[in-house]
Structure 1
Amino acid sequence: MPVTPPVTPEEVLARLRREPDVEAPDLVAVDATDRLLLDTAEDLAARRVAVVDDAYGALTLGAVAAGARDVRVHQDLLVGERALAANAARTGLTGTYRSLPLDGDLLDGATLVLAKAPKGLDALRELTELAAAAAAPDVVVLVGGRVKHMTLGMNDVLRAGFTDVAATLARQKSRLLVARGPRPGIQSSFPRCRHDDALDLDVCAHGAAFAGTRVDDGTRLLLRALDGAAPDARTAVDLGCGTGVLAAVLSRPRPDLTVTATDQSAAAVASARATLARAGLDRVRVTRDDAAADLPDASVDLVVCNPPFHLGAAVVTGAADRLFAAAARVLRPGGELWAVWNNRLPHKAALRRLVGPTRVAASDRRFTVSVSTRR
């Protein structure tokens, strides 16, 4: 049966769910920052709206329900795109928005930008540069977040692209930064690339990519141990590839190894493609995928992985366990998962349970590199 669209934005917000992301009583699909952004936005029906990092669709579908007719959205995480699509279907609003990459087309002629504050300043800097360069001269940029996560550095980043930047009063522990007046002559400086002398590799990164152009210590430890990884492997996957450093260093000395780099972050995928192109490694396939869902079962000889171990400020295991389970699914019997993880986390037991026999290949005071063989 066709879905009857809700009448008001509040009715839309009431129907939203997090799925396919984790659902739990204490996890919400619409938060106080979403509501503050929508309540502060004026004349939505007359605006060309660009939405950035809408977690589950509240900003996009709320704007549509308020009358906006030209709504474009970019979500870095694939799970967010899928949640938005599911919520649009649930509310009868499928086809009312366009999903686009984070580029000039997303911001072209926009008169209103609604954005959730990113975790890092470089992600905000990339958005600022794109908006200043491509949006309409009368654009209003609203960047919202929890008060405890908003910093004065965010004001400085926005001022580099806009002449007028102000903060709203807090409401329910959320606050907005409001930017107007794009400065002339601003151009995007992303992706940014930096040569890593130790790896002899140009590392390229878009603003939201983990670690930026820096190679984190865990990745370096894993790279030092990878020389002997599955020497007979014909196929390999860099699972959660980030900027593509593992895929590049793994592929470079092994031209007969077919390597796929995959990540659910759009910024990571774009960064990895840039890193691999600079290295002349176009033979590495880079895909945007959630936990290797598009790869066939038992199709890979080697998986390398530096999984996330933070969710916000909390140290967690769930995201890594999900990647370990994905590695177990795509590995052939006898295939190997080479992973690096923080010593504080109980990953060795999970690796044995999810993948198979596990040994330590390297360690230091902070990180462990493990090798798990698929049963």
Structure 2
Amino acid sequence: MDKEGGSLRVADNSLDIILSGLRRFPDVEAPNLQAWDATDKLLLETASELLTPDSRIAVIGDRYGALTLGALAAYGVRNVKVHQDLITGERALRNNAAVLKIDSGFAQLPLGAALFDDVDVVLLQLPKTLAELEEAADAVARYAAPHTVLLAGGRVKHMSLGMNTVLQRHFADVQPQLARQKSRILIARDARTVTGPAPFPVADRSSELDLTVCARGAVFAGTKLDIGTRFLLRYLPDMPAAGNVVDLGCGTGILAAMYARSHPESKVTATDQSAAAVDSARATAEANGLAGRITVLQDDAMGSLPDRSAGLILLNPPFHLGASVHAGAGIKMFRAAGRVLMPGGELWTVYNSHLQYLPALERFVGPTRVAGRNAKFTVAVSTGRSERAVP
């Protein structure tokens, strides 16, 4: 690496070597899933024109550490602060840092003032939803110094003009860059003055559920009732009473809240790998007077819950991993349910029928029956075995 005109340069292959060695673990790994994409590389190469070794960077949405570790190892930046919504991403960053023998130089922080204190450049992997981008852009404008430059990058096929509009609400100068390798960077400068409270979490009253639902920007479906959860809730009266109940992949906590309200004697745990989901579920519980009856936990597939500790698990699993349609997330949750479910306990799962999850549920959890099916979804009930599930 050499330094030219105050910006950083790196040998062409150094960044490629670093990126190619990254893993997704402990997240799902498969031959068609990788720990970085062309946007990570383009963000770092674009940022190098602005960086010196003394620059301080904030990173938002670093999926598995590519941006953080690329800045540290390839470009020689000495101070990176990073916010990752998923606990699997946080752990993957630490695992990849250990492999690269990087034991300092980065700090993992929530999306808030500390993340942006005294930073010069913010690198952002553009999120899937405009609400999540709105929350991130507001945070940069609200907490970062006026001179801070935001570089937001994404795959062209997932970008929309709405993203430009969101950024223009928070920055006076937004400049789209030319696309390269099917990725594009938006450079935002001159943050607008922010007044009033932060816009997230938002709260809406669902007349259908008679429930106040709270959501941060990154949570699937926002404050709306997604159609899979709606279908599973049709079977709430058929679900057994249980002492310990888990809403696995809780999102905004609707399932946890509805079950807790109808079963006041039960102890309910709402858990998700997403920090935004955990904050949302906690706010939903509080808004409905259920905070004392629902424990909210950020975790990876119930990893911190004891074996055979739950009498009932409720699950609406995702069928995407990032931008990829992939059954791996659901399979990981089924394995976890097989471990945590008590013998004779029940896992109630709603899933897109085309995924044909029944054999996996039978294998990893136990005997499974179909409780209901409509044109799009299946609700399956799996009973925990007396012996341990197949590993």
TM-score range, shorter chain: over 0.9
Comparing 51-60 and 363-372, the one that deviates more: 363-372
1:214 aligns with one of 211, 217, 224: 224
Structure 2 counterpart of 1:318, which letter? G
Question: 1:248: which partner in 2?
Answer: 257
- Residue 223 of structure 1 deviates from its aligned partner by 1.2
1:18 aligns with one of 24, 27, 33: 24
SS in 2 for 1:276: helix
Structure 1 gaps of 5+ residues are 1-6
Determine if the alignment matches structure 1 residue 28 to structure 2 residue 34: yes
Deviations 1:81-114 (A, max 9, x none): 1111011111121221110111222123322110
SS in 2 for 1:132: helix
2:189 aligns with one of 142, 165, 180: 180
Question: 1:270: which partner in 2?
Answer: 279
SS in 2 for 1:40: helix
Determine if the alignment matches structure 1 residue 94 to structure 2 residue 100: no
Determine if the alignment matches structure 1 residue 51 to structure 2 residue 59: yes
Distance 1:13 1:327 in 2: 33
Determine if the alignment matches structure 1 residue 365 to structure 2 residue 371: no
Question: 2:330: which partner in 1?
Answer: 320
Q: CA 1:86–1:312 in 2, change beyond 3 Å: closer, same or farther?
A: closer
2:237 aligns with one of 211, 227, 231: 227
- Residue 158 of structure 1 deviates from its aligned partner by 0.4
Q: Is the 8 A contact 2:367 2:384 kept in 1?
A: yes
Structure 2 counterpart of 1:166, which letter? Q
Comparing 9-18 and 350-359, the one that deviates more: 9-18
Q: Is the 8 A contact 2:28 2:329 kept in 1?
A: no
Distance 2:30 2:208 in 1: 44
Distance 2:322 2:81 in 1: 27
Determine if the alignment matches structure 1 residue 350 to structure 2 residue 356: no
TM-score by length of 1: 0.94
Q: Is the 8 A contact 2:28 2:328 kept in 1?
A: no
- Residue 355 of structure 1 deviates from its aligned partner by 1.4
Determine if the alignment matches structure 1 residue 105 to structure 2 residue 114: yes
Q: Is the 8 A contact 1:51 1:114 kept in 2?
A: yes
- Residue 317 of structure 1 deviates from its aligned partner by 2.2
Distance 1:26 1:309 in 2: 15
Give the alignment's Cα RMSD to 1 decimal: 1.7
Determine if the alignment matches structure 1 residue 300 to structure 2 residue 310: yes
Count of residues in Structure 1 that have an aligned counterpart in Structure 2: 368
SS in 2 for 1:46: coil
Comparing 251-260 and 129-138, the one that deviates more: 251-260
Q: Is the 8 A contact 1:51 1:115 kept in 2?
A: yes
Determine if the alignment matches structure 1 residue 161 to structure 2 residue 170: yes
SS in 2 for 1:351: helix
Q: CA 1:180–1:286 in 2, change beyond 3 Å: closer, same or farther?
A: same
Determine if the alignment matches structure 1 residue 67 to structure 2 residue 76: yes
Comparing 219-228 and 351-360, the one that deviates more: 351-360
Distance 2:337 2:20 in 1: 37
Structure 2 counterpart of 1:249, which letter? M
Q: Is the 8 A contact 2:118 2:144 kept in 1?
A: yes
Distance 1:310 1:25 in 2: 16
Question: 1:39: which partner in 2?
Answer: 45
- Residue 14 of structure 1 deviates from its aligned partner by 4.7
Structure 2 gaps of 5+ residues are 1-9, 386-391
Q: Is the 8 A contact 1:44 1:63 kept in 2?
A: no
Alignment of 1:192-211 (within 5 A): 192-211=202-221
SS in 2 for 1:360: strand
Structure 2 counterpart of 1:39, which letter? E
2:299 aligns with one of 278, 289, 292: 289
